[in-house]
Amino acid sequence: METIILEKITLENIGCFVRKTVSFSGMTTVFGENRTGKSTLVYSLYFALYGTHLNTHLKVADLCRKGEAAGCVTLHFRKNGAAYKLRRATDALPRLFRRPLPDAAWEAVALHDPDALAAVVPVRPETAAIGSFFRESELIYFLQDMPRYNQTLLQNLIGMDDSLILRSRFKKARSRARDVQRAIAAAAPKHLPDPLNIELARRRLADAENAFARLEKTHQKAPPERRPDPTVYKLLHQQHQAKRQNLAALKTLASRLPAPASLKEEKEAIETRAKNTAETTAPAEELQRRLGGVTQKIDNLKLRQRHLEALERRPACPVCEQAVPPEQIDALARKINDQLSQAEAEHRSIETGLAEMRRIQEAHALDRKRLGEIERQLTEIGEIQRRIQDVTEQISVLEADLKQFDGIDGGVREAGAPFEQAAAPEAQRAVLQEEIIRQRVAIQRFEDAQKRTEEHRRHIAAAERKTLICTVAFKAVEEAIQGLGSRLLEKVRASVGEWSRHFSFLNRFDIQITDRELLPMIQAKGYQYKLNQMSKSERIFLYLMLKLAIGDALGHLGVFVLDDPADGLDLKRKQTLAYLLAEVAGRRQVIVTTNDAEFSSLFSSGLRQDL
Amino acid sequence: MTSTIDLLAELFSTSLSTLAAENGLTEAETARILSVFQQAAANPFMTEQHIHQRLTVDDDPSGS
């Protein structure tokens, strides 16, 4: 196992130090009061080696001295007999120098190359954090908190979380692959067509095609005689009979109507008469108006007669009472009588004219009525004649169509047998064509289904393969994690057994911790119950021994750095711890920081550094 | 001197070789599984979806 031996470290602008150099021996005690930089020293050791903060919750910049933008750590160590100088700043890449001989000059090994540096530092940072560094904060966690996820103590210490999370991800990936496989299987056709049915369809198709070919050959040899359809003949015949009956009815109707010539003569006579009468007669309105005027005139004359008769009885002026001579009254009476006679004659003349006018109007009304009747009859006659003409033409067409049936005798025409005989091959041909199409469609559908089935089979096979790959990957992860646990446990168990022998002195202090008690705590999930039964000092010793054992199993730097491990211990336990660390110093370089002067004085043989 | 993850990778490789032989996986498939494991171990943000995709990617780039 390659390890390193720390010689000294120089801090520049780190923590509370402007510049500080601390040297190390096989057993180094660093003493300092609170806030003098003990933890800073431990963090700086880890930072120098790995470039990160030992406390994962803090950043590298947190190491810098307050007010300084950057700090620098220079670590001198030995490995395989050679001296190394590692210089790392918080804001720059590391630089590693090597001096193979004490008097030789420093030569650069890794300048600004973290990967080259990793080849020199023997342990990964997370492993070193477990097996080579002891922080007060992790002890507090170990003493007070319950481990997460009910893991074993070993799993918790070596950080099995990441491995278990990795296993979980591979397990879910396998579940995904299975889901995909199930989905593809569900999408596959549920029922495949029966191959026997498709063979039957192929045979039926062959039979139909052969039959069709034979039928075509027969048709080519003796083309079928195209005979008229007797059904058509029947329909034509029925139509012909109906048209003839229609024509006879129209002719009968036409014979009952008067002759069109006489109707036209009568119409012309009526129109001539109406025209003449209109020319000779005065308008009725004029006569009526004159009659009214004459009637008014007669009424006035009669009124004047009555006035004269009154004047004759009393011949005096009704206004001036002057006497009127009788001669004058007589003359006036004669004049009025004459006028009245004329007016009455004129009235009679007008009334006669009006009577004549009424008679003429009545005659005109009769003429108009007769004229309308004549026109209706003429229109009806024209319509009947047009229909007779149309029906006659239709009968001619029907008779022409019926001529093609002249060659068929009446009995055969009624039965329709010749036509059916001629139509039979056509029907057979149609049936065969339909059968051929049906069977071809069935075969095509089967072939498509077969193609889809093959495609689905390929997809299912591919999905099964992918599921197998995911399953193998998951199983490999699972087995690896199981192996990891068992191998680590085996190593840790062996190491604990070895360390417990060095811890046998604990019996003197009534602390009974041997591998028989430790092993169940390491691997049992219910170990916290036993921890709770232990005292704080017992748990501190247990924890230290586990870290040493895990360091042996996973690897360590060859250095065991403890930050204030004696906090809270009584003198007896401090003596025990000091004795134990002295034992450890026989196998590893030990660096202990403490603010306890009593505890620091217990290390008589080691190097003491005061901060 | 190995870390937890190094030891896990070593055990995984051994286990994978055995399982691949038992299940008839090809060398390409085995190498793909190992590659995906290494990627997943190094990248904590690699989800099961990514793992599934990379494990089940078709060998033929044309996808045929």
pLDDT at site B1 = 39
DSSP state of A149: G
**Is residue B30 situated within a structural domain?**
yes
* Cross-chain residue pair A176–B52, CB shorter than 8 Å: yes
pLDDT at site A342 = 93
If you average pLDDT over residues A487-511, what whole number do you get?
A: 68
Average pLDDT, chain A: 82
pTM of the model: 0.52
Rounded CA gap, A208 and A216, in Å?
12
On whether any CB of chain B is under 8 Å from the CB of A75, the answer is no
The residue whose two tokens read 């481990």 is A147
A213-220, long-range: CB < 8 A, 24+ apart: A215/A425, A215/A428, A215/A429, A215/A432, A216/A429, A218/A425, A219/A425, A219/A429
Residue A349, both tokens: 């003349």
Q: Where are the domains of chain A?
A: 1-132+556-611, 230-412
Instruction: Tell me: pLDDT of A487 over 80.
Output: no
On whether any CB of chain B is under 8 Å from the CB of A483, the answer is yes
Average pLDDT, chain B: 84
DSSP state of A15: T
Nearest to A374 by CA among A488, A460, A271: A271
Residues of chain A found within 8 Å of residue B25, distances taken between Cβ atoms: 468-469, 472
Instruction: Tell me: pLDDT of A527 over 50.
Output: no
pLDDT of A307-321, one tens digit each? Answer: 888 888 888 877 787
Interface of A with B in 111-140 (CB under 8 A): 122-124, 126-127
If you average pLDDT over residues A365-387, what whole number do you get?
A: 90
* Cross-chain residue pair B19–A480, CB shorter than 8 Å: no
Rounded CA gap, A550 and A544, in Å?
10
* Cross-chain residue pair B55–A177, CB shorter than 8 Å: yes
On whether any CB of chain B is under 8 Å from the CB of A481, the answer is yes
**Is residue B63 situated within a structural domain?**
no
The four Cα atoms A394, A396, A398, A404 give a dihedral, to 10 degrees, of: -160
Q: From residue A481, how far is each of A469, A473, A477 by CA, in Å? A: 18, 12, 6
User: Where does the pLDDT of residue A515 fall: very low under 50, low under 70, confident under 90, or very high at 90 and above?
Assistant: low
What are the residue ranges of helices labelled H in A11-134?
38-50, 114-120, 125-131
pLDDT at site B13 = 92
**Is residue B9 situated within a structural domain?**
yes
* Cross-chain residue pair A479–B1, CB shorter than 8 Å: no
Q: Which of A34-38, A526-530, A579-583 has the highest mean pLDDT?
A: A34-38
On whether any CB of chain A is under 8 Å from the CB of B20, the answer is yes
> How many alpha carbons fall within 13 Å on the CB side of residue A526?
1
Instruction: Tell me: pLDDT of A389 over 90.
Output: yes
The four Cα atoms A177, A183, A184, A187 give a dihedral, to 10 degrees, of: 180
The SS3 of residue A259 is coil
Rounded CA gap, A134 and A564, in Å?
9
Rounded CA gap, A425 and A225, in Å?
11
Out of A162, A169, A480, name the one closest to residue B15 (CB): A480
C-alpha distance from A124 to closest chain B C-alpha (Å): 6
Nearest CA in chain A to B5: A163
The SS3 of residue A214 is helix
Out of A159, A473, A487, name the one closest to residue B55 (CB): A473
Rounded CA gap, A11 and A34, in Å?
18
On whether any CB of chain B is under 8 Å from the CB of A468, the answer is yes
List all residues 6 or more positions away from A549 whose beta carbon is below 8 Å from its beta carbon: A492, A495, A496, A498, A499
Residue A76, both tokens: 């001198």
**Is residue B37 situated within a structural domain?**
yes
pLDDT at site A219 = 74
Residues of chain B found within 8 Å of residue A127, distances taken between Cβ atoms: 1-4
Instruction: Tell me: pLDDT of A536 over 50.
Output: yes
C-alpha distance from A455 to closest chain B C-alpha (Å): 12
pLDDT of A42-80, one tens digit each? Answer: 999 999 999 999 887 889 999 999 888 899 999 999 998
Residues of chain B found within 8 Å of residue A488, distances taken between Cβ atoms: 4, 7
pLDDT of A163-214, one tens digit each? Answer: 888 899 999 999 999 999 999 888 877 777 777 888 888 898 899 899 888 8
**Is residue B62 situated within a structural domain?**
no
Rounded CA gap, A144 and A540, in Å?
12
Out of A127, A470, A480, name the one closest to residue B56 (CB): A470
* Cross-chain residue pair A469–B6, CB shorter than 8 Å: no
C-alpha distance from A129 to closest chain B C-alpha (Å): 11
The three-point CA angle A530-A531-A534 to 5° equals 95
On whether any CB of chain A is under 8 Å from the CB of B39, the answer is no
Nearest CA in chain A to B40: A166
On whether any CB of chain B is under 8 Å from the CB of A461, the answer is no
Calculate helix-pair angle for A326-402, A230-256, nearest 10 degrees: 160
Chain B interface mutation, best of A167, A471, A484, highest count of B Cβ atoms under 10 Å: A484
pLDDT of A460-485, one tens digit each? Answer: 999 999 999 999 999 999 999 888 87
On whether any CB of chain A is under 8 Å from the CB of B64, the answer is no
pLDDT at site B61 = 46
Chain A interface mutation, best of B2, B3, B26, B54, highest count of A Cβ atoms under 10 Å: B3
If you average pLDDT over residues A429-435, what whole number do you get?
A: 87
> How many alpha carbons fall within 13 Å on the CB side of residue A41?
30
List all residues 6 or more positions away from B50 whose beta carbon is below 8 Å from its beta carbon: B40
User: Where does the pLDDT of residue A330 fall: very low under 50, low under 70, confident under 90, or very high at 90 and above?
Assistant: confident
Rounded CA gap, A227 and A291, in Å?
90
The four Cα atoms A436, A437, A440, A444 give a dihedral, to 10 degrees, of: -170
Q: Which CATH superfamily is domain A1-132+556-611 in?
A: P-loop containing nucleotide triphosphate hydrolases (3.40.50.300)
Least confident of A188-192, A214-218, A456-460: A188-192
If you average pLDDT over residues A317-330, what whole number do you get?
A: 83
Instruction: Tell me: pLDDT of A423 over 70.
Output: no
Q: Structural domain of residue B45, as residue ranges?
A: 4-55
Nearest to A302 by CA among A349, A336, A329: A336
pLDDT > 70: what percent of chain A? 85
List all residues 6 or more positions away from A227 whose beta carbon is below 8 Å from its beta carbon: A408, A418, A419, A422
List all residues 6 or more positions away from B10 whose beta carbon is below 8 Å from its beta carbon: B2
Give φ, ψ of A558 to 5 degrees. 95, 0
pLDDT at site A541 = 77
Residues of chain B found within 8 Å of residue A484, distances taken between Cβ atoms: 4, 7-8, 11
**Is residue B48 situated within a structural domain?**
yes
**Is residue B64 situated within a structural domain?**
no
On whether any CB of chain A is under 8 Å from the CB of B25, the answer is yes
Chain B interface mutation, best of A164, A477, A489, A557, highest count of B Cβ atoms under 10 Å: A477
The number of distinct structural domains making up chain B is 1
* Cross-chain residue pair A170–B41, CB shorter than 8 Å: no
Q: Which of A243-252, A358-367, A443-452 has the highest mean pLDDT?
A: A243-252
**Is residue B34 situated within a structural domain?**
yes
Residues of chain A found within 8 Å of residue B51, distances taken between Cβ atoms: 169-170, 172-173, 473
